[in-house]
Chains A and B, each alone.
Chain A
Amino acid sequence: MGWEETEVRGYPEFVRTAQRYHGRPIFALFCGDKDAEGRSWCPDCVTAEPVVRKELHNLPDESVFIYCLVGDRAYWKDPNNEFRRNLKLTGVPTLLKYGTPQKLVEEECFKAELVRMLFTED
């Protein structure tokens, strides 16, 4: 069946989408919002996204890749935002395997080797 991608914005939509795909391996990339020209306020996210996208073909069959825009910079800086509180995210970009402690944070997302390891290994 291969893998599929879906894009969401904000915490409630993320949760709904993750629940919808319950039972399949779910990988999620969290990035800062993009402006009208498609550029994110988060410079590390701008660097990480192409690296992650280049490795997507390694995703296991049946898995889902959720590309999640977390919000604007002000929302992200709030230490009580739902992503920080509920998903325990500490920074953007974060790339994680949902439901496991496996994740890559910030500069770790720049490294193709690590992204590949997250996607392909147990």
Chain B
Amino acid sequence: SVQARKEDKPQKAMEVNGLTPVPHSYDYDLIVIGGGSGGLAAAKEAAKYEKKVMVLDFVVPTPLGGSWGLGGTCVNVGCIPKKLMHQAALLGQALQDSRKFGWQFTEEVKHNWMTMTESVQNYIGSLNWGYRVALRDNKVTYENAYGEFVGPHTIKATNKKGVEKLYTAERFLIATGERPRYLGIPGDKEYCISSDDLFSLPYCPGKTLVVGASYVALECAGFLAGLGLDVTVMVRSILLRGFDQDMANKIGEYMKEHGVNFIREFVPIKVEQVEEGTPGRLKVTAKSTTGNQIIEEEYNTVLLAIGRDPCTRKIGLDKVGVNINEKTGKIPVNDEEQTNVPYIYAVGDILQDKLELTPVAIQAGRLLVRRLYAGATRKCDYVNVPTTVFTPLEYGACGYSEETAVEKFGEENIEVYHSHFWPLEWTVPSRDNNKCYAKIICNIPDNERVIGFHVLGPNAGEVTQGFAAAMKCGMTKEQLDSTVGIHPVCAEV
């Protein structure tokens, strides 16, 4: 539900000193807690309007001791390393395809995990540094310290040496993001890794069990298998909950046919160490969700990707009265990203009922700051946000899934147009001719407006971006039909 906008008085709080009220001046105009996609975008924008801004960023080490630099999840342990490793896997496939196109090489092609990881981490390091230069250049104060509220308008920042400092600000922006969830079973924190550890793992993970069916689970399983590793995915129920299930199943089928094992309707109940090492050997015991069957299997690495939890429980929100959803930890905000406390705002993955995507956080952060300091009125538009899942067969989507469209508009008002296609580049190397797929969902009573776009195929992200812009303009089926295709590309379908 949308909360009414609360009065956020921009005057300074008054402190009564004897007879005359004395204006209380804050250390900063804005303190941003969390230096990720949303936080940094907002901080840099605020600096443009000459506001005095501080960013507090701190990475609580993973259970296995891992940490990273400024930039948040996307840069360090999310989108960026994920896409690079996905690319590494695609290149492996391309090398195989290349023989059919005439390239001759006699050696067998092998993959070196350390070479890839060092290159990826080096690039991430340059991004961390780039952010620090950008902040310093824009006169934004950055501290590598853990921020928590201790009272109205006041925050305590604790650095890794334990030194505490207090700061006050007129307004605050919470952008603390999320961290991977653990199973809560014996051996999970001691022996399992998460996406937080995977992208900087100092040894090849070897035979890997991925627990989960989220896009994180499938993307990681996908590129690990693409690099030649023995990968199994253990799924409790369905794949890609919240996504179009027709597409989710096609993704799963493709992965299965291309070397990823799936164990469906099982959950791990115990992880034990058989042998130490880099990697070691782990024994996983799992129980069926539909019966009493127990299975056991050994893996070198167990990667947990069962969900992410917001970092909102230990930042002192109770001290300033910010409401959170007790069950999920998410923060409800109104359509201007304002919490129930007028001078405290929030952006990014921690928001309730909003999309967990980097570009959304960046957009929301920037627009919020422009509304606060530049008199702008534009709010973040969360409708028709395109996304892409970088599984081995990429999936791009914008708008409604088939299920949600039927639910919202009624089956009789929805028309679905679909098509399989065979990318020209796949023909020569004899790759699958019936796996790539595209569908659009149209709202018949509304001029057959395109309300859902889904494509499964190479470069899905690149393809989807343009269609997302068209949907934002209200493209109808007729307009789409009358657009001449580019040939020969996948997008012409």
Contact = CB atoms under 8 A, between A and B. Distances in A.
Interface stretch (B122-130, B335-343, B463-471): B122-130
A114 B129 CA distance: 11
Interface string A96-122: 000011111000100101100100010
B129 A101 contact: yes
Interface string B108-151: 00000000000000110110110011001100000000000000
Nearest to B144: A122
A100 B125 contact: yes
Contacts of A114: 133, 136-137
Binding site secondary structure of chain B: helix
B136 A113 contact: yes
A104 B133 CA distance: 9
Contacts of A111: 137
B119 to A, nearest CB: 11
Contacts of A104: 133
Interface in A79-108: 100-104, 108
A47 to B, nearest CB: 17
A104 B129 CA distance: 10
Binding site secondary structure of chain A: mixed
A103 B128 CA distance: 11
Nearest to B130: A101
A103 B129 contact: yes
Nearest to A111: B137
Contacts of A113: 136-137
A108 B133 contact: yes
Contacts of B137: 108, 111, 113-114
A117 B132 contact: yes
A108 B132 CA distance: 12
B129 A102 contact: yes
Contacts of A121: 132
Nearest to A104: B133
B134 to A, nearest CB: 10
A121 B126 CA distance: 15
A118 to B, nearest CB: 9
Interface residues of A, number: 11
Interface in A58-72: none
B39 to A, nearest CB: 19
Interface centre among B123, B126, B129 (most CB of A within 10 A): B129
Given A101-B129, A102-B129, A103-B129, A117 B122 contact: no
Interface centre among B123, B133, B136 (most CB of A within 10 A): B133
B303 to A, nearest CB: 27
B136 A117 contact: yes
A21 to B, nearest CB: 21
A103 B125 CA distance: 11
A17 B132 CA distance: 29
Nearest to B121: A101
A98 to B, nearest CB: 13
A117 B133 CA distance: 8
Contacts of A103: 129
B120 to A, nearest CB: 12
A101 B132 contact: no
A17 B244 CA distance: 59
A85 B441 CA distance: 50
A108 B129 CA distance: 13
B192 to A, nearest CB: 29
Contacts of A117: 132-133, 136
Contacts of A101: 122-123, 125-126, 128-129
A46 to B, nearest CB: 22
A104 B125 CA distance: 14
A72 to B, nearest CB: 29
A101 B136 CA distance: 17
A113 B129 CA distance: 14
A103 to B, nearest CB: 7
A102 B128 CA distance: 9
Contacts of B128: 101
Nearest to A105: B133
A67 to B, nearest CB: 22
B255 to A, nearest CB: 34
Contacts of B123: 101
Contacts of B129: 100-103
Nearest to A117: B136
B132 to A, nearest CB: 7
Contacts of B122: 101
Interface centre among B123, B125, B132 (most CB of A within 10 A): B132
Interface of B: 122-123, 125-126, 128-129, 132-133, 136-137
17 contacts: A100-B129, A101-B123, A101-B125, A101-B126, A101-B128, A101-B129, A102-B125, A102-B129, A103-B129, A108-B133, A113-B136, A113-B137, A114-B133, A114-B136, A114-B137, A117-B132, A117-B136
**8 tightest A-B contacts by CB?**
A101-B125, A101-B126, A102-B129, A101-B129, A117-B136, A113-B136, A101-B122, A114-B136
Given A100-B125, A101-B125, A108-B137, 14 more contacts: A100-B129, A101-B122, A101-B126, A101-B128, A101-B129, A102-B129, A108-B133, A111-B137, A113-B137, A114-B133, A117-B132, A117-B133, A117-B136, A121-B132
